[in-house]
Amino acid sequence: MKHLMLSTSLIVATAVPAFAGTETETTGNAEAEVQMQTPAADVSGEANVSGEAQADTGTLEQEAEEAANEVEAEAEELTTEAEAGAAELANEAEAAAEEVEQEAGEMATETENAAESMSDAVNPDADGPAMEPLAEGELTAEALTGAWTYDSKDEHIGEVSQVIVNTNGSVEAVIIDVGGFLGIGEKPVELTMGDLDIGKVDGDIRVNTHLTREELDALPEYQAD
């Protein structure tokens, strides 16, 4: 009996270390497996995070590029509109300057004609009496109508039948009836202020022209509009 118990104890004592060794080996293998699996999981997670970060960065870069393109397009459009507006203003200014220049030229011509008509010098080709200049305001359509007219040889050629005035009320031209006899067969012709010298002789308005009778007869007949 003692021998049997001793054998049993010996078996148990022998088996326990062996089991303990097996358990230790199993535990070690499990820990090693966990240690081997953990780095792989960490690497996979890091790779996923890195990929997502790169994707987000690419999206942001694309959005930034699109925004920059939109800003550039708007800037180009504004520049084009500004250039077009500047060109239009320049054209308007040029047209206005030309209009002012034209009006100034017309006013200068009118002033020159008025000065010539009011000059006290007689037509150099005429042999008639010296004329007195008209006072300011005397050169009117009413005063000129009916005035006797003389050619370059100081010969009476007719009378002023009509007076043409411009929009400013200034005398622009006169219609003189030339030729004929006692009002019969007369031909109305138009003479501008540049063709005339107008003044006073003995208080009466007199009209002189540097044209000859032949030149007056050759003028076309005036046709009223």
Q: Pick left, alpha or beta for residue 17 (phi over 0 → left; psi -120 to 50 → alpha; otherwise beta).
A: alpha
Cβ-contact 209, 123 below 8 angstroms: yes
Asked whether residue 23 is domain-assigned, the answer is no
Interval 70-119: pLDDT, tens: 999 999 899 999 999 999 889 989 899 988 888 888 877 776 665 555 44
Asked whether residue 48 is domain-assigned, the answer is no
For the chain, what is the mean pLDDT?
75
Cα 146 from Cα 157, distance rounded (Å) = 12
Asked whether residue 214 is domain-assigned, the answer is yes
Asked whether residue 225 is domain-assigned, the answer is no
Give the strands of the sheet with 156-165, arranged side by side: 187-192, 171-178, 156-165, 148-150, 204-209, 196-201
Asked whether residue 33 is domain-assigned, the answer is no
Tell me: pLDDT of 134 over 90. no
Asked whether residue 82 is domain-assigned, the answer is no
How many structural domains is the chain composed of? Answer: 1
162, amino acid identity: Q
Asked whether residue 190 is domain-assigned, the answer is yes
pLDDT of residue 114: 58
Interval 9-36: pLDDT, tens: 444 444 444 444 444 444 455 454 544 4
Tell me: pLDDT of 189 over 90. yes
Asked whether residue 1 is domain-assigned, the answer is no
- The enclosing domain of 149 has a CATH number of 2.30.30.240
Which has more pLDDT, 49 or 130? 130
Token pair recorded at residue 194: 């540049």
Tell me the residue range of the domain where 187 lies.
Answer: 141-218
Which has more pLDDT, 122 or 28? 28
